[in-house]
Amino acid sequence: MSEETEHVSCLIIGSGPAGYTAAIYAARADLKPVLYTGIVPGGQLTQTTDVENFPGYPEGVMGPEMMEDFRKQAERFGTDIRFGYVTSVDFSSLPHKVVIDEHKTVTADTVIIATGASAKWLGLESEQKYNGFGVSACAVCDGFFFKGQDVAIVGAGDTAAEEATYLAKLCNKVHMLVRRDEFRASKAMQNRVLHTPNIEIHYNTETREIVGDGQNVTGVKVANNQTQAETVIPVTGFFVAIGHKPNTDIFKGWLDMDETGYLITKPDSTQTNIEGVFACGDAQDKLWRQAITAAGTGCMAALEAERYLAAKEDVLAESRIVEVNK
C-alpha cells in the first residue's frame, strides 16, 4: 500500500444529522469510525437559522449550533472527524476503496454514505443575497417565521404543492409561481392546492428578482412569460421548491439510484446493492428530508454496519491481507 493509504473499519462520508448520528452509534460500538465532512461541514442545517422542530431543544436552536452539538457528541466517543471531500470510490472488491481529495486512498470494511442533498436554487443574485433573510428552500423549517404574512413559493411539483398548503395554514396568503400553464404535481396534490382559498396561483410566471430593503425581503418581481408584463408582488417570504439534488454523483455506476440520483436501499434497511455499503439521510430519502429522519437512518446505518462487521469478520480479515499483499 502507498503511504497515502490507510485502512479503517467504518468510514462515514458526510457530516449532516445522518453522518454524525451514524458516527455516534459507530463510535459507541467501538468501530473507531473515521468521518469525512465534505465541503460543508455540518451539511444543509448550517445554512439555516433557527431550528424549532428537532426534539430536545425546547427553545429551538440555531442550525449551525445544533450541528456543532452533533459534532461534539460524535467526537466525545472517539470519532476521527476530518475535513475532506470524497472524489471517487471503487466498490469492485473488498475492502472498499474511497479516494479523498484526489490523492489519499482509504480502504474500509464498511462505508456509510451520508452525503445529503442540495436544494436547487433559481440562480438569481438577489436570491443569494436574501437567503436566510426571507428566502428559504424549506417551508417546514422556516414557514413558522412568516406566520400571518404574505409569502410566495416557486415550483409546481409535489414538493411545491405540499409546501404551499403547509404555508397556507400559517400565512395570510401564498402566491404560487408556476412557470408553465400547468402543474407537474400529482392530481391529488394539485387538488389540495386548488381547494385552498388563500393560495393564489400565478401560471406562466417566472421569477425575475427578489426585492428587498437591503435587510429583508419585501417582494418578488415576476414576469408573465406570455405577455412579458412585469409586476412586483409584495411578500416578506420567498420559498424555493424546485427540487433537490442528492449529492451522489461519485457513486454513479457503483450504486443503484433512481433517475434523480437518490440511492436505493433495501426495504427497511440502509443496505445498498453493494455489501458493506450503507446509505442514510437525504442521499437516499426523497420523501421526508428532515433532520430527525436523517438522524434516524444514520442510526440504522451504524447498527447495520456493526452487525455486518460481526457477521463477516473472517471474510473481511482475509480481504485486508489480500489488499496489503497487492
Residues that bind ligand NDP (CB under 6 A): 122, 154-160, 162, 179-180, 184, 242-244, 286-287
Query: Which residue among 142, 158, 282, 285 is the active-site one?
Result: 142
Report the alpha-carbon angle 63-69-74, nearest 5: 130
Residue 169: helix, strand or coil by DSSP? Answer: helix
Instruction: State the CB neighbour count (10 A cutoff) for residue 241.
Output: 26
For residues 240 and 135, the answer to whether their CB atoms sit within 8 Å is: yes
**Residue closest to ligand NDP (Cβ):** 157
DSSP state of 322: H
Contacts with 202 (C-beta within 8 Å, 6 or more apart), sequence order: 175, 176, 177, 178, 222, 233
141 is an active site residue: yes
* Contact partners, residue 18, CB within 8 Å, separation at least 6: 114, 116, 280, 281, 282, 283, 294, 295, 297, 298, 301
- Output the DSSP codes for 262-276: PBP--TTS-B-SSTT
> 138 catalytic, yes or no?
yes
Cell of 66: 445544533
171 catalytic per annotation: no
How many CB atoms are closer than 10 A to CB 312?
17
**Measured distance CA(87)–CA(101) in Å, rounded:** 6
- Measured between alpha carbons, how far apart are the two ends of the chain, in Å? 8
Measured from the CB atom, the residue of 8 and 241 that comes closer to ligand NDP is: 241
β-pair type (86-90, 96-100): antiparallel
d(CA 220, CA 241): 15
CB of 217 to ligand NDP, least distance (A): 17
Among residues 10, 109, 138, 285, which one is catalytic?
138
Cα 159 to Cα 211: distance, rounded to the nearest angstrom: 24
Active site residues: 138, 141-142
